[in-house]
Amino acid sequence: MHELSIAYSLVQNASEAAQQAGARKVNKVFLRLGKLSGVVKEALLFGYDIATKGTPLEGSELVIQALPVVIYCASPQCQQEFAISGLQGFRCPKCNQPSNQIRQGRELEIEKLEIEVD
Ligand SMILES: [Zn+2]
């Protein structure tokens, strides 16, 4: 399961950040997850519970913010960003031009931690 190894590296990064912040315990981890990241949210949550065992993150909650795909349409009449719902064919919802400029959707990053300090 690919999400389990992602969960382990996520927990490792969060543990290091928490340690640097002098945290005794981590309560919540806020994650930004793009639709194109290829990560299944439910599988990641499951992997997270396993990966946090025995770490300062044990028992903490993983809060996932799902980010839609945003493309940029470069056609003269648009020249703006659009959030699109489908994952097939990155076309402008307004003028139907294909776009290869993906501005958002690949994120897999920790936004912030909610920690307890002594
Ligand atoms: Zn357009």
Return mean pLDDT, the chain. 94
CATH number of the domain where residue 19 is located: 3.30.2320.50
- Domain membership of residue 60 (yes or no) is yes
Give 7 Cα–ligand 1 centroid separation in angstroms.
37
**What range defines the domain where residue 111 resides?**
2-68+105-117
What's the pTM? 0.87
Q: Residue 1: pLDDT above 70?
A: no
- Domain membership of residue 42 (yes or no) is yes
- What's the CA gap between 102 and 70, in Å, rounded? 6
- Domain membership of residue 75 (yes or no) is no
Number of domains in the chain: 1
- Domain membership of residue 98 (yes or no) is no
pLDDT one-digit tens code per residue, 7-26: 999 999 999 999 999 998 99
- Domain membership of residue 84 (yes or no) is no
Q: For residue 61, what are its two tokens?
A: 């909650």
- Domain membership of residue 23 (yes or no) is yes
Q: Residue 4: pLDDT above 80?
A: yes
Distance of CA 48 to the CA centre of its chain: 13
Give 90 Cα–ligand 1 centroid separation in angstroms.
11
Residues whose beta carbons lie less than 5 angstroms from ion ligand 1: 73, 75, 78, 92, 94-95, 97
How far from 114 is each of 8, 18, 32, 34, 70, CA to CA, in Å?
Answer: 19, 9, 15, 21, 28
- Domain membership of residue 50 (yes or no) is yes
Rg of the chain over Cα atoms, rounded to whole angstroms, equals 18
